[in-house]
Amino acid sequence: MPQLDGTDEIRLVHGDGGRATARLIKEVFLPHLRDESLQLADDAAAFEFAGAAQMAVTTDTFVVSPLEFPGGDIGDLAVCGTVNDLSVNGARPRWLTAGFILEEGLEIARLSSVVNSLADRAAECGVSIVAADTKVVQRGNGGGIYINTTGVGQVLVEADLGYHRVRPGDAVVVTGYVGDHGLAVLSHREGLEFSTPVVSDTAPVWPAAGRLLKEFGGRVRFMRDPTRGGLASILAEIADSASVDLLVEEEKIPVRHEVQGAADMLGLDPLYMACEGQMVLVICSEAAGEAVEALSELTSAPAVIGQVQAGTGLLKMRTPLGGTKRLGLLSGDPLPRIC
């Protein structure tokens, strides 16, 4: 019987977005699904019809618990998550489809409120929801609401993005505070209260992505939204996939005081906690300063956090004390500690 990570059944670890998920995809999915765009393992696939504009398509499924959290709900997330995957691939989000799996017993008022925020977010992002589907499953078989959204967008002509464009000397930029969403959801789910509440950063990144591409074109080499696995996992992925080293200054990474404090208490690392409204980008170093300036009108705390070096695929982080540590992909969902 085929085994993955010591078990012949699917375990939660296979959904953590880290090493176990990567193995699941590589060993179970890719051998059967051989389309070239899937093999590329990007967040969205580009395609074109004869003569028409270059398009991008992506799909994502949302199973967040709790359904509502400070700063958003599963409806917000289902729009932002998918339009953000299009955005970081250089595509202006245009159309969405939405599939709902509802669990028997779900209050209609809750559903209505989620659909309402989904519609509001879609309007904010300028996307039309052009097809939708609903299924109901027996009580106990679902977490209230699961939503799948598929998004289609139009790739900007200015966009020329990909791991292959990342080169030594480029700068690494993050658009704002990291870890907010992961900590907001975790603390709300577990009923933890902090004196300064942490709010999810769920938001569309297209305003920032679109502006950068228009202003800087091909000098923007790569963009990604650090969701599951957090900033550190995405950086490790860039280093690995582009076969370069990334040298990142820990001090320059924007982390809110209250997020760092709560994470310290729980023994968690904000660098591995999800963001839902941020981007990491690799940009030609000469343009980095201007890009940060442009971003500062749109995002919470844009900063150049590091640079790309020739190397073998390592993520190296310089600590405030001047030490260097190497970081990898998230390995297993982070679990809060004892003391």
Using rule CB under 8 A, residue 5 touches other proteins: yes
Q: In sequence order, what are the residues at sequence separation of 6 or more whose Cβ sits closer than 8 angstroms to the Cβ of residue 143?
A: 63, 65, 67, 103
Give dist(CA 268, CA 338) in Å, integer. 12
Rg (CA), the chain: 20
Using rule CB under 8 A, residue 52 touches other proteins: no
Q: Quote the least distance from Cβ 335 to other proteins, whole Å.
A: 3
Give the binding-site size for other proteins (rule: CB under 8 A): 43
Q: Quote the least distance from Cβ 223 to other proteins, whole Å.
A: 23
Candidate residues 18, 81, 229, 302; the one interacting with other proteins per rule CB under 8 A: 18
Q: Quote the least distance from Cβ 251 to other proteins, whole Å.
A: 6
Structure-token pair, residue 31: 């051998």
Give dist(CA 45, CA 32) in Å, integer. 18
Q: In sequence order, what are the residues at sequence separation of 6 or more whose Cβ sits closer than 8 angstroms to the Cβ of residue 84?
A: 204, 205, 206, 225, 227, 276, 277, 279
Using rule CB under 8 A, residue 145 touches other proteins: no
Binding mask 227-246 for other proteins (x = CB under 8 A): ---------x---x------
For 338, phi then psi, to 5°, come to: -80, -55
Q: Quote the least distance from Cβ 338 to other proteins, whole Å.
A: 5
Using rule CB under 8 A, residue 26 touches other proteins: no
Using rule CB under 8 A, residue 8 touches other proteins: no
Output the CA–CA distances (angstroms, integers) from residue 82 to 75, 129, 225, 295, 336, in the order listed: 11, 12, 11, 21, 29
Q: Quote the least distance from Cβ 41 to other proteins, whole Å.
A: 17
Using rule CB under 8 A, residue 9 touches other proteins: yes
Candidate residues 2, 6, 51, 140; the one interacting with other proteins per rule CB under 8 A: 6
Task: Look at the block and give the residue holding tokens 């990491």.
Answer: 280
Candidate residues 1, 2, 7, 197; the one interacting with other proteins per rule CB under 8 A: 7
Using rule CB under 8 A, residue 168 touches other proteins: no
Binding mask 253-272 for other proteins (x = CB under 8 A): ----x---------xxx---
Q: Quote the least distance from Cβ 288 to other proteins, whole Å.
A: 22
Q: Which is nearest to 271 in space by CA: 219, 220, 305, 231?
A: 231
- Backbone conformation region of residue 64, classed left if phi is above 0, alpha if psi is from -120 to 50, else beta: beta
For 307, phi then psi, to 5°, come to: -140, 160
Using rule CB under 8 A, residue 336 touches other proteins: yes
Binding mask 288-327 for other proteins (x = CB under 8 A): -------------------------xxx--xxxxxxxxxx
Using rule CB under 8 A, residue 139 touches other proteins: no
Q: Quote the least distance from Cβ 238 to other proteins, whole Å.
A: 13
Residue 148: burial class (beta carbons within 10 Å; 0-12, 13-18, 19+): middle
Candidate residues 72, 179, 254, 334; the one interacting with other proteins per rule CB under 8 A: 334
**51/320 with CB nearer other proteins:** 320
Using rule CB under 8 A, residue 176 touches other proteins: no
Contact residues toward other proteins (CB under 8 A) are: 5-7, 9, 11-13, 16, 18-20, 190, 192, 236, 240, 251, 257, 267-269, 313-315, 318-329, 331-332, 334-339
